[in-house]
Structure 1
Amino acid sequence: MIEVIKTMLPRRSRAAAIVPERSVAGRTLMLLIAIMTFLSAVTLGGVVLVQKSAIAWSADVGREVTIQIRPVEGEVMESNLRTAVALAEGTPGVASARALTLEESQKLLEPWLGAGLDLTAIEIPRLVVVHLGDPVDADIDKLSRDLTAVKGASLDTHAAWRQELNTMAGAVVLSGLLVLTLIIVATVLAIIFATRGAMASNREIVDVLHYIGASNKFVAGEFQGRFLSIGMQGGLLGGIAAILFFGLVGTAAGNVLSSEAGAQVGVLFGRFALGTDGIIGIVAVIPVIAALTAITSRLTVRRYLSQTS
């Protein structure tokens, strides 16, 4: 009799009987996993964007140094500027050097002093922007020594800015990874509760399976297969939604935001272009979430059965 019952209950049918394919619990769990996958992918994508922007910042800042020349009584500013440019261009590793015009220097002060001010009546510090061909080969020490011949001149390598940028980017990346960890923990807890709920509501079916000879390992495997399917479907929905999200945000940042706001957003996140590595990272989240769902459900079922047997 038991053998007859076994032949009437193929493997996939038993799985559907324990966790029905179209059950409310299954659809709810799939939606929950989709949301968690979306949040995980968005967090991971944000971390990738910030990291890429930080690398670009550091590279740009590292290829540029600035010579500041303060007004000194008895000194001719334009002559000092030409001397500083000549010294910079004669330094090994320097690609080019250019003195900012008076109008450009005044424009740099607008964020602090406001627009429309007439600064022609006062002398303001002037800047020489030096672009390095290769920051490693550039002899910055020699340039710093040579500039001692120019009164009021000082060299800024932007090392402090680079350090602050790297520290800020590192803090953002660390915060993103912490949020990602919390999302994963929340997902695991949700799967555990959903699995235990399914086990409790289908306890009679599990008892019948045990009666006909099914082992705890077999029942756990059935749950694992069903939850793997739920995790994969939810992961696909969440991953696709995350990729569309970055595409829409990138479009909105370029078309909806003002030029000033778009520039500020671009400084932090770039152009919202994930690139190949970002998309691969988001796609990789999908099988990870699916596998996490399957493994968590299997372990939960085996623990539940061991406690109730």
Structure 2
Amino acid sequence: MKALWRGLLRGDGDVGNRIVPPTGFTAQLTVFASGAMAFLAVFALALALATGRLAERWSQELASSVTVRVTSSDADRDARVQAALTVLETTPGIGAAQKLSDDQVADLLTPWFGPDMPVDALPVPALIDVPVTSADFDSEGLRLRLEAEVPGAVLDDHTQWRRPLVSAAKRLKALGVISLILITAASAAMITLAAKAALSANVQVIRVLRLIGARDITIATAFVRRFTQRAAIGAAGGTLAGIIAIALLPDMDAAGGFLTGLGFHGWGWLLPLLIPLIAAGVGFFATRWAALKMLGAVR
């Protein structure tokens, strides 16, 4: 291993060119495969980071407020809404509750019914938005108080919405991490096949080098150095293309209000720069394993 690292740092000059041709099918395959996998790795990394942020944001936003629904006839609706507000005023851990206006309720229903639906004709309950300000808030206690003091009032703490959304976001994050692992494994497999193909094509050269006294570690170092460089160069190009593609994605306004969140924020833009380094490491160990195994089989 130390000899391999010394050979990588020192270089092999013309000797390496004679052992491992600088051009050819295996060189193109290695560069292309590394570039393609790095491009996909950028998107998998962006997906993992974005879904992690999404899960955290959904959890915080849905946990920061609750909703009280008041269902009753039009005659006593205002009285029950006022009774619910009175109960909320004496509840610790919450801020100033506010009844949503008819226009605000219509805006909430627009995605489901469309803008032309006569919401006034629907039996829509009165909605009260209740911000949660501290951990002292007891949702179960408030639910019991509303059931006892305000008939028709129901507390919705968004649990049924929050858990599936956060769970889905976490699974997407896990899918992104698994994708990164599979991309790394596929890259190692492609580089290993390319290295074996190059070694097989140069069996006669390897035998001649052995006859004149070349050691297996010297020959292996030449292959490892070449394929490590090719993997790093290809991954650098793929990473750059992936970063540019991520940067060109439309933002929230340009996407018509649809926020994908796919991208990097702040220092996260530096994380893709690790991909070429990881690709070089994958190329090093994959080629080293393939070279030593093939050289051991060549006699």
Same fold (TM over 0.5): yes
Deviation at 1:296, TM superposition (A): 0.3
Deviation at 1:20, TM superposition (A): 2.7
1:202 and 2:202 aligned: yes
Contact 2:65–2:129 under 8 Å retained in 1:
yes
Judged with a 3 Å threshold, the aligned counterparts in structure 2 of structure 1 residues 188 and 212 are, in CA distance, closer, same or farther, namely same
The 5 A counterparts of 1:70-149 are: 70-72=71-73, 76-121=76-121, 123-134=123-134, 136-148=135-147, 149=149
Once the two structures are overlaid, the 10-residue window that deviates more, 145-154 or 20-29, is: 20-29
Distance in 2, matches of 1:120 and 1:59, equals 32
Contact 2:228–2:281 under 8 Å retained in 1:
yes
Encode CA deviations 1:157-205: one digit per residue, 9 max, x unaligned: 1112111012211222232233333322221221111101111222222
The 5 A counterparts of 1:28-43 are: 28-43=29-44
Deviation at 1:298, TM superposition (A): 0.9
SS at match of 1:226: helix
Distance in 2, matches of 1:165 and 1:123, equals 28
Contact 2:227–2:284 under 8 Å retained in 1:
yes
Distance in 1, matches of 2:120 and 2:42, equals 53
Once the two structures are overlaid, the 10-residue window that deviates more, 227-236 or 206-215, is: 206-215
Deviation at 1:59, TM superposition (A): 0.7
Distance in 2, matches of 1:173 and 1:217, equals 42
Deviation at 1:210, TM superposition (A): 1.3
The 5 A counterparts of 1:48-87 are: 48-72=49-73, 76-87=76-87
Distance in 2, matches of 1:191 and 1:77, equals 71
Deviation at 1:274, TM superposition (A): 0.9
Distance in 2, matches of 1:108 and 1:201, equals 67
Distance in 1, matches of 2:117 and 2:161, equals 28
State the superposition RMSD in angstroms: 2.2
Contact 1:67–1:129 under 8 Å retained in 2:
yes
Encode CA deviations 1:114-163: one digit per residue, 9 max, x unaligned: 432334355421111111113x2323233223312111001011112111
The amino acid that maps onto 2:14 is S
Contact 1:250–1:273 under 8 Å retained in 2:
no
Contact 1:19–1:26 under 8 Å retained in 2:
no
1:14 and 2:12 aligned: no
SS at match of 2:129: strand
Distance in 2, matches of 1:82 and 1:273, equals 45
Judged with a 3 Å threshold, the aligned counterparts in structure 2 of structure 1 residues 215 and 66 are, in CA distance, closer, same or farther, namely same
Distance in 2, matches of 1:254 and 1:113, equals 23
The amino acid that maps onto 2:236 is L
Q: Unaligned 5+ residue runs, structure 2?
A: 1-10
Distance in 2, matches of 1:277 and 1:132, equals 31
Q: Aligned residue for 1:300? A: 290
The amino acid that maps onto 1:152 is G
Deviation at 1:208, TM superposition (A): 2.5
Judged with a 3 Å threshold, the aligned counterparts in structure 2 of structure 1 residues 197 and 131 are, in CA distance, closer, same or farther, namely same
Encode CA deviations 1:4-28: one digit per residue, 9 max, x unaligned: xxxxxx8322222222334443133
Once the two structures are overlaid, the 10-residue window that deviates more, 239-248 or 91-100, is: 91-100
Aligned residues: percent identity?
25
Encode CA deviations 1:211-265: one digit per residue, 9 max, x unaligned: 22222222212211111111111121111111111101135x643x4x2xx42xx
Once the two structures are overlaid, the 10-residue window that deviates more, 275-284 or 114-123, is: 114-123
Encode CA deviations 1:35-60: one digit per residue, 9 max, x unaligned: 11111121111121111111111110
SS at match of 1:57: helix
SS at match of 1:249: coil
Once the two structures are overlaid, the 10-residue window that deviates more, 181-190 or 232-241, is: 181-190
Contact 1:72–1:152 under 8 Å retained in 2:
no
Distance in 1, matches of 2:121 and 2:250, equals 45
Q: Aligned residue for 1:243? A: 243
Q: Aligned residue for 1:25? A: 26
Distance in 1, matches of 2:123 and 2:285, equals 71
